[in-house]
Amino acid sequence: KHWVYAFKAGKADGNASMKALLGGKGANLAEMSSLNLPVPAGFTITTEACVHYFRNEQALPDGLVDEVEKALADLEATTGKGFGKVENPLLVSVRSGARASMPGMMDTVLNLGLNDETVEGLASLTGDRRFALDCYRRFITMYSNVVLNVSHHSFEDILDDHKDRLGVTVDTDITDKDWAKIIADYKAMVKSELGEDFPQDPKAQLWGAVRAVFSSWMNDRAKFYRKMHDIPEDWGTAVNIQSMVFGNMGQTSATGVAFTRNPSTGDSDLYGEFLLNAQGEDVVAGIRTPQALTKKAREEMGERSLSMEESLPEVFSQFKSTVDTLENHYRDVQDVEFTVEQGKLYMLQTRNAKRTSKAALKIAVDMAKEGLITPEEALMRIDASALDQLLHPMLDPKAEKVVIARGLPASPGAASGKIVFTADDAVRFAAAGEDVILVRDETSPEDIHGMHAAKAIVTARGGMTSHAAVVARGMGRPCVSGAGEMNIYAERGEFVSRGQTFRHGEIITLDGSSGEIMKGAIRMIEPEFSEDFHQIMKWADEYKTLAIRTNAETPADARTAIGFGAEGIGLCRTEHMFFDDERISAVREMILADDEAGRRKALEKIQPMQKADFAELFQIMDGLPVTIRLLDPPLHEFLPHTAEDMKAVAEASGVGEEKLYKRTKELSETNPMLGWRGCRLGVTFPEIYESQLRAIFEAAVEVAAAGGNPKPEIMHPLVATREEMAYLTTMTHKIAKEVFAAKGKDIAYMVGTMIELPRAALLADKLAETAEFFSFGTNDLTQTTFGISRDDSGRFLNPYIEKGIFEKDPFVSLDQDGVGALIKIAAEKGRKQRPDIKMGICGEHGGDPASIAFCHGAGLAYVSCSPYRVPVARLAAAQAAI
């Protein structure tokens, strides 16, 4: 077993398939080296070494030190430099790199190997003392911060004092003599903080950095990131040790980041930013405003400073062909980091680029059309859950707006919320249910929890590839970066822009697609869908076998769902049709009536309203199935809660308030979830279900008579026994017959049940004697299988998830082992009894890709989900089928 894998141009021990062992960065450095691309030589310490380190009280594994010594000697031979040698010193970077990319979450140290002597060697070798000192001061800052835990601010304070003294604003204006003074102050400060000198021995520096990179796997922000992205804790990080190349050697040197296509829009032009005479993190950290890579991009941005294409044309064309090679090789958009040292290009990193949903769609469709990937691959490339981002409202272009600042359109989507200036405030306000916009000069990995809690992010500094922009795109948060007109005074809790002051807690709106920031809350509208979206949906429909229906009660929801491609209604919850004031009081009257006559009187008011509602749904869903669930009222939700409610019911029903009050008490339940609900209501008060059935059949017959094609499916909720089902089916057929006879017209319909109780699942064959379809009501089935009330689970589910007892919230993602087992039993028994039985699921899980894949596997015919999730479900169903 090896702990170390080396790479140099033309030759590497590893390759791109070894991400688990070498981390993404290390595996791709090896792959690029094998492709003979210009990669500075180096070696990778495996993730297994890191795992060993954490399992053994931070001890290095046996053999690691020897292997590193050997690899270092080889690296000296390859580069012709000496580690710790004064003449021609070898400097290295020590870079973290886990299996999954965790941008900026863990630590990297550059220019390692410098000390008071080698820095002089570097100065005389290059003849550029200023450069050598620039590297040294960067190294002291980074190493002290990452390895010795000395705060960044201590260094910034010293640097700022010197800049004030010298009257300069940018680092590049500081001379070698002044850097020497700054470095002396840095070292003195480190010594006074730590009680010992800044480490001078390069080997000690190296092991200090390796251990720090290992340890950074367990820092808070890395832990948070892993939790958010479902990355296992026990993967560990690899460590890449790589010979340094220098982008800070003058005006023919540079450093930059690029995407082979635009990660925000998906546009196929090369996209990125670079800085002349700069090193490493300067671009990402937003220290200076970076320049465009291409002439076209510079012109579009209306910028003056030259693009890389113009200022370094030869390297640029080499760079362009290198990234084209990479994109073709990996068959996906690449996100690369590069450095130019005195006109010579070096590639430092490549990975598949993170992208917005909008870009993901466009890129997948474009690449399939270019023939780089197949349509199946295009479908598999899109994260179904992330499609959601595209389906949500955006700013109404007609709404009046007062623009208060403009920045870069860093991550699309619009959002309104209250201004907060710190990540902690964002978390606090969001926890109290407020929508907040996090406003910062720039963000850093320490802000990640606040960015997550915020609806959107605004920064005054930094480019399209700044930390804020990259993280916001990854999280699907709208973001405007580099809004330079905003002067942010976080400590005073305000920002000033275009002469106006905005305080903490005031509402602003931002549009991450245009880069505009506006005063107040702006009206939003439904999004429009791109050609790419339609193309992907078309391909999805070719591959999927599940039908996608929607849960809808209102005409508006039903229309939205049809627009998204719903193939019918899988769940129409009739109690949801009563939520307006006039109706709810009629329903209360019905529930509170103390005899059948009283109930019938109330039902007479309700029936015509229901009939009209059903007729409209049948018209909208013409020719498509509409599954109507008969009343399943959680009684307590419908009981009057206030004296006013009570009064309204009393007036409408003509029953005295006192009597109503008594009845309310009688009806209140200890455990409503397991109480008088579902078909238990229809069995005890058949006139309620009969009235609903009449409304459904009359509506259907009338719509059919007018030339429509209604397809009602009558669904009885919460059935547990064969006899219940038989009773309800008989009732349904009886009413249908009566209505059809009275109207002189028959229509086809189905009768079925929801499977929401374990007993129903276990004895599904008995239900299927009369039920023609099953719809798995997985919300209740999850409640009743676990014995956990969904409404109360919030208090204890999180600790369960944190302790790893539950992997996921079973109400969000179907418990395939337990609830899934019941579904499989029910499906099998149902089919045995009635081979053509139709089965689907409704409930939250119908829009969850993992649950959809399960339903596909269980051979169900359809899933039903909320209207906005329909496209997500279509894509997930196709992915399950591929």
Residues forming the annotated binding site? Answer: 573, 629, 756, 777-780
Q: Please say which residue, 341 or 532, places its beta carbon nearer to ligand ADP.
A: 341
Stretch 248-267 residues interacting with ligand ADP (CB under 6 A): 255
Rounded distance between C-alpha atoms, residue 671 and residue 682, angstroms: 19
Catalytic residue from among 50, 135, 679, 842: 842
Q: Please say which residue, 93 or 215, places its beta carbon nearer to ligand ADP.
A: 93
Q: Please say which residue, 26 or 208, places its beta carbon nearer to Mg ion.
A: 26
Q: Please say which residue, 101 or 389, places its beta carbon nearer to ligand ADP.
A: 101
C-alpha dist (Å) from residue 861 to 545, 556, 572, 855 = 8, 25, 18, 8
Q: How far is the CB of 879 from Mg ion (least distance, A)?
A: 7
With contacts defined by CB under 5 A, name the span among 207-215, 334-342, 733-741, 835-843 that binds Mg ion.
334-342
Is 467 catalytic? The answer is: yes
Q: How far is the CB of 349 from Mg ion (least distance, A)?
A: 5
* 150 phi/psi in degrees, rounded to 5: -90, 130
CA atoms within a 13 Å half-sphere pointing along the CA-CB vector of 454:
37
Q: Please say which residue, 242 or 851, places its beta carbon nearer to ligand ADP.
A: 242
Q: How far is the CB of 29 from ligand ADP (least distance, A)?
A: 10
Rounded distance between C-alpha atoms, residue 41 and residue 210, angstroms: 17
Give the annotated binding-site residues for substrate: 573, 629, 756, 777-780
Could you say which of Mg ion, ligand ADP, none residue 255 binds, taking C-beta under 5 to 8 angstroms by partner kind?
Answer: ligand ADP
SS (H, E, C) 830-848: HHHHCCCCEEEEECHHHHC
Instruction: Identify any residues that bridge with 481 across adjacent strands, giving them in sequence order.
Output: 408
Q: Which of 61, 84, 272, 280 binds ligand ADP (CB under 6 A)?
A: 280
Residue 414 per-residue DSSP state: E
Stretch 85-124 residues interacting with ligand ADP (CB under 6 A): 93, 95, 103-104, 108, 110
Q: Please say which residue, 375 or 568, places its beta carbon nearer to Mg ion.
A: 375
Stretch 168-197 residues interacting with Mg ion (CB under 5 A): none
Q: How far is the CB of 341 from ligand ADP (least distance, A)?
A: 8
Q: How far is the CB of 792 from ligand ADP (least distance, A)?
A: 42
With contacts defined by CB under 6 A, name the span among 137-145, 238-246, 508-516, 718-726 that binds ligand ADP.
238-246
378 binds ligand ADP (CB under 6 A): no
Q: How far is the CB of 109 from ligand ADP (least distance, A)?
A: 9
Q: How far is the CB of 463 from ligand ADP (least distance, A)?
A: 14
Is 452 catalytic? The answer is: no
Q: Within 10 A of 68 (CB to CB), how many other CB atoms are there?
A: 22
DSSP-derived 3-state class of residue 481: strand
Stretch 546-605 residues interacting with Mg ion (CB under 5 A): none
Contact 112, 202 (CB under 8 A): yes
Rounded distance between C-alpha atoms, residue 49 and residue 449, angstroms: 29
With contacts defined by CB under 5 A, name the span among 343-351, 382-390, 451-459, 683-691 that binds Mg ion.
343-351
Rounded distance between C-alpha atoms, residue 715 and residue 702, angstroms: 21
349 binds Mg ion (CB under 5 A): yes
244 binds ligand ADP (CB under 6 A): yes
Q: Please say which residue, 240 or 627, places its beta carbon nearer to ligand ADP.
A: 240
237 binds ligand ADP (CB under 6 A): no
First vs last C-alpha separation in the chain: 37
Q: Within 10 A of 807 (CB to CB), how many other CB atoms are there?
A: 11
Q: Please say which residue, 165 or 229, places its beta carbon nearer to Mg ion.
A: 229
With contacts defined by CB under 6 A, name the span among 241-249, 363-371, 402-410, 613-621 that binds ligand ADP.
241-249
Q: How far is the CB of 284 from Mg ion (least distance, A)?
A: 8
Structure tokens at 845: 């899980």
C-alpha dist (Å) from residue 96 to 113, 183, 225, 228 = 17, 26, 15, 20
DSSP-derived 3-state class of residue 462: coil
50 binds ligand ADP (CB under 6 A): no
Rounded distance between C-alpha atoms, residue 798 and residue 217, angstroms: 23
With contacts defined by CB under 5 A, name the span among 156-164, 336-344, 402-410, 560-568 that binds Mg ion.
336-344
Could you say which of ligand ADP, Mg ion, none residue 108 binds, taking C-beta under 5 to 8 angstroms by partner kind?
Answer: ligand ADP
Instruction: Identify any residues that bridge with 537 across adjacent strands, giving them in sequence order.
Output: none
Instruction: Identify any residues that bridge with 337 across adjacent strands, giving them in sequence order.
Output: 257, 349
Residue 382 per-residue DSSP state: S
Q: Please say which residue, 349 or 732, places its beta carbon nearer to ligand ADP.
A: 349
Q: Which of 40, 417, 640, 820 binds ligand ADP (CB under 6 A)?
A: 40
Stretch 333-372 residues interacting with ligand ADP (CB under 6 A): 337, 339, 348-349
Q: How far is the CB of 141 from ligand ADP (least distance, A)?
A: 13
Largest CA distance in the chain: 105
Q: Are strands 516-519 and 507-511 parallel, antiparallel or unpaired?
A: antiparallel
Contact 114, 133 (CB under 8 A): no
With contacts defined by CB under 5 A, name the span among 337-345, 408-416, 538-546, 862-870 that binds Mg ion.
337-345
Q: DSSP for 111-156, please give it.
A: EET--TTHHHHHHHHHT-HHHHHHHHHHHHHHHHHHTS---HHHHH
The residue type found at 508 is I
245 binds ligand ADP (CB under 6 A): yes
221 binds ligand ADP (CB under 6 A): no
Contact 507, 521 (CB under 8 A): yes
Structure tokens at 420: 């907060």
With contacts defined by CB under 6 A, name the span among 69-77, 240-248, 533-541, 835-843 that binds ligand ADP.
240-248
Size (the chain), residues: 882
Could you say which of Mg ion, ligand ADP, none residue 281 binds, taking C-beta under 5 to 8 angstroms by partner kind?
Answer: ligand ADP
Q: How far is the CB of 528 from Mg ion (least distance, A)?
A: 31
Stretch 321-340 residues interacting with ligand ADP (CB under 6 A): 337, 339
In this structure, is the dihedral angle defined by the CA atoms of residues 554, 557, 563 and 569, taken in order, positive or negative? Answer: negative
Rounded distance between C-alpha atoms, residue 858 and residue 648, angstroms: 49
Rounded distance between C-alpha atoms, residue 845 and residue 558, angstroms: 19
444 binds ligand ADP (CB under 6 A): no
Q: DSSP for 249-261, please give it.
A: SSTT-EEEEEESS
Q: Within 10 A of 456 (CB to CB), how many other CB atoms are there?
A: 27
Rounded distance between C-alpha atoms, residue 117 and residue 193, angstroms: 23
CA-closest candidate to residue 7, choices 86, 85, 97: 97
DSSP-derived 3-state class of residue 246: coil
Give the annotated binding-site residues for Mg(2+): 756, 780
Contact 870, 561 (CB under 8 A): yes
Q: How far is the CB of 48 from ligand ADP (least distance, A)?
A: 20
Catalytic residue from among 52, 449, 452, 467: 467
With contacts defined by CB under 5 A, name the span among 347-355, 476-484, 761-769, 827-835 that binds Mg ion.
347-355
Q: Please say which residue, 349 or 551, places its beta carbon nearer to Mg ion.
A: 349
Q: Which of 178, 185, 281, 541 binds ligand ADP (CB under 6 A)?
A: 281
Rounded distance between C-alpha atoms, residue 793 and residue 808, angstroms: 13
242 binds ligand ADP (CB under 6 A): yes
Q: Please say which residue, 276 or 391, places its beta carbon nearer to ligand ADP.
A: 276
Contact 432, 441 (CB under 8 A): no
Interface pattern 380-419 for Mg ion (x via CB under 5 A): ----------------------------------------
Rounded distance between C-alpha atoms, residue 751 and residue 861, angstroms: 16
The residues of the shown chain that bind ligand ADP, judged by CB under 6 A, are 40, 93, 95, 103-104, 108, 110, 242, 244-245, 255, 280-281, 337, 339, 348-349
Write out the residues near Mg ion by the rule CB under 5 A. Answer: 337, 349
Q: Mind telling me the catalytic residues?
A: 467, 842
